[in-house]
Amino acid sequence: MSSSDDATPIRHSEAFPVRPPVSWVIFPHWPEDGDHWIHPDDRSKAEGLIPSDFIFRRELTDDDWYMLSYGDVHMKTRPVMVDEVPEPKFKMGEIVELAHQFEVDKIAIGTIYAIRYSEYHREPQYYLIRGELKSQNAYLAKDLRPYEPPKEFHAMHEFEP
């Protein structure tokens, strides 16, 4: 038997009998007064990312915290109000090429460095690094496709036994 004043910690299976699925969320507003909802070790990581339209991957951990991931940044939070958004088609760090190009001999490729939610389009937008330049233009998934090196590239770089 368990009561609300019982000092025994709630085990994961009791707190969340059905594990919530991974979700994709944004923090358009600071969810609560203070920062007690962020794990003490992670409070500095929220600066500049929350509030924003950056899309975080959110999943429940075994210790009943939510793990938020945005690229290389990972932080734990307690359950708070967030806005769920569609799952991005592409991931941070993924190499992509522009799907609609006029000059076929000049393939425009880049690496995704930011994924933000567009209220206007109601879907994720992607920002690319091309060479040393960070693009300020946002691209929708329909504008991009995964980059696949040309077949000649694979043949030139195969190793013989």
Name 27's bridge partners.
Answer: 52
In whole angstroms, give the CA distance from residue 76 to residue 40.
9
Residues sharing a CB contact under 8 Å with residue 46, sequence separation 6 or more, in sequence order: 35, 38, 75
**Nearest alpha carbon to residue 113 among 105, 101, 100, 96:** 96
Contact indicator for 96, 88 with CB cutoff of 8 Å: no
Rounded to 5 degrees, what angle do the CA atoms 49, 43, 92 make? 35
pLDDT of residue 6: 45
pTM of the model: 0.78
SS3 143: helix
Residue 14: how many CB atoms within 10 A of its CB? 11
Contact indicator for 97, 128 with CB cutoff of 8 Å: no
pLDDT mean for each 10 residues of the chain (161 residues): 45 62 96 94 95 97 93 96 97 92 70 97 96 92 91 56 49
pLDDT of residue 9: 45
Contact indicator for 79, 66 with CB cutoff of 8 Å: yes
In whole angstroms, give the CA distance from residue 67 to residue 25.
12
pLDDT of residue 156: 52
Cis, peptide link before residue 51, omega less than 30° from 0: yes
Find the helix or strand (DSSP H, E) in which 153 lies: helix 151-156
Phi-psi region of 48 (alpha: psi -120 to 50; beta: other; left: phi over 0): left
pLDDT tens digit sequence for 92-125: 999 999 987 665 556 689 999 999 999 999 999 9
